[in-house]
Amino acid sequence: MAFLLKNAHVVDPVAGLDGVMDVALEGEKITAVGEGLEAPADAEVVDLTGKYLVPGLVDMHVHLRDPGQEYKEDIESGTRAAAKGGFTGVCSMPNTDPCTDNGIVVQYIKTRAAEVGHCRVYPSGACTRGLKGEALAEMGDMVARGAVAFTDDGRGIQDAGMMRRVMDYGIMFGKVFMSHCQDAGLVGEGQVNEGVVSTRLGMLGWPAEGEELQIQRDIALARLTGAKLHIQHITTKRGLDMVRAAKAEGLPVTCEVTPHHLFLTEDDIDATYPTALKVNPPLRTAEDAAALLEGVIDGSVDAIVTDHAPHAEWEKAREFAFAPFGMTGIETSLGLVLTNLVETGKISVARMVELMSVAPRRILGVEAASITAGATADITVFDPAQEWDVTEDGFESKAKNSGFIGAHLTGRATDVFVGGEPTLRNGAIC
């Protein structure tokens, strides 16, 4: 397949591009970038006037639920949702059933994604067997079959000695260790951020310290072992300051933030007990959200991810305390970032590309995307002016547990190419 994408506003901070130009694709590759390009033979010409064209976005924190919980989501539906959201790739989390803690499950995910996927899937593998925190998972076997990172996401590794063993052993594979920071003893049955809101609503609190203690511990262990550490879905001002200090010290520490922790706070959880807003870690204070935003602007936050956590309607329809943690996000992430951060002038499109494409790819150690001749054609195109409403029936995902239903957004992906193949055209899944 060949395409000539004309008159797009190309933004690629790594290649240093920021201007209107044409991009030619042939097969898997970008073949030319410049002004007034001639269409190659048999190329389909697509006019992208008014749209941005950027290196393909990657969401490095996604729960695809496959194998084992396909009633919530599966590899086909989850990657279809990713394409709709403008992503060319996702990193899948290992809390599947069976757990992604051995090479065969990694191989299954890769194979299934190749068969039915709408984007690239970069599987993460568990650090410990069954995410139990007791014995090492088959890390080498998983890497041999395509795992790009290690994490026990869904729960924190409770024993510091175990976390050290994970890093000491796993470091030989050169992958990043992604840490879901949750001290079980402190968090217990906590439902929402511990503070005024938990008290007012009469719900058990999930204290900031339940996250911060493990951030501090894992930074110390990264210092001890030399491991590359990535703090997942960071939510507090003090936690972010710990990451800042680690970076200042020169440690290989990075972190990510979700749109829900940036754009929602504990104050959005009212006496209707909205289970869509029950997430792990919980929505924090307005002060924390403001600090995260500062970090996004000043570069302390490396990546924006969704922690896309699909659940069935009946699961979220239960009382708050019995509903599972998590909200979907992969279809609203780009729109939320464009609306709240780019449109408002808080960050540039180039910074958005760093947060949602360049850094996730670098941290995961997967192929960088670049709008240059010879590069693999992983491309996201979005219309910065398209207005749309987030509605329950508007999702490609099997799940509807978004915390942003009813939001009015400006900016949406229109076209996505993965290795030169269109996966989204004019907003429709291919």
Residue 63 binds which entry of Zn ion, ligand DOR, none, CB below 5-8 Å type-dependent: ligand DOR
d(CA 306, CA 92): 11
Residue 153 or 302: the one with the smaller Cβ distance to Zn ion is: 153
Task: Tell whether residue 120 is a contact of Zn ion (CB under 5 A).
Answer: no
Minimal distance, residue 307 CB to ligand DOR, in Å: 6
d(CA 230, CA 21): 36
Q: Would you state the structure tokens that stand for residue 387, as one six-digit string? A: 């207005």
Task: Tell whether residue 180 is a contact of Zn ion (CB under 5 A).
Answer: yes
Minimal distance, residue 324 CB to ligand DOR, in Å: 6
Longest dimension (CA), the chain: 67
> Taking a C-beta distance cutoff of 8 angstroms, is the pair 333, 313 a contact?
no
307 in active site: yes
343 residue type, one letter: E
Task: Tell whether residue 76 is a contact of Zn ion (CB under 5 A).
Answer: no
> Taking a C-beta distance cutoff of 8 angstroms, is the pair 53, 8 a contact?
yes
Residue 281 or 411: the one with the smaller Cβ distance to ligand DOR is: 281
- In sequence order, which residues have a C-beta less than 8 Å from that of residue 250 and are 6 or more positions away? none
CA distances from 161 to 72, 139, 168 (A): 34, 17, 10
Side-chain half-sphere exposure of 380, counting CA atoms within 13 A = 31
Which of the residues 307, 378, 383, 415 is marked catalytic? 307
Residues facing 32 on adjacent strands:
24
Residue 51 or 311: the one with the smaller Cβ distance to ligand DOR is: 311
- Judged by CB under 5 A, the stretch of 174-182, 308-316, 332-340, 403-411 that binds Zn ion is 174-182
Task: Work out the end-to-end distance of the chain between its first and last CA atoms, rounded to an integer number of angstroms.
Answer: 14
Residue in the shown chain whose Cβ atom is closest to ligand DOR:
326
CA distances from 147 to 112, 165, 174, 376 (A): 14, 19, 11, 21
Task: Tell whether residue 153 is a contact of Zn ion (CB under 5 A).
Answer: yes
Task: Tell whether residue 59 is a contact of Zn ion (CB under 5 A).
Answer: no
Residue 30 or 399: the one with the smaller Cβ distance to ligand DOR is: 399
Helix (H, G, I), strand (E, B) or coil at 277: helix
Residue in the shown chain whose Cβ atom is closest to Zn ion:
180
Residue 26 or 153: the one with the smaller Cβ distance to ligand DOR is: 153
Minimal distance, residue 250 CB to Zn ion, in Å: 27
Minimal distance, residue 258 CB to ligand DOR, in Å: 9
Residue 170 or 326: the one with the smaller Cβ distance to Zn ion is: 326
Minimal distance, residue 180 CB to ligand DOR, in Å: 5
Residue 422 binds which entry of Zn ion, ligand DOR, none, CB below 5-8 Å type-dependent: none
d(CA 425, CA 225): 46
Residue numbers of the site for ligand DOR (CB under 6 A)? 63, 95, 153-154, 180, 279-280, 307, 309, 324-326
Q: Which residues bind to Zn ion, rule: CB under 5 A?
A: 153, 180
Residues forming the active site: 307
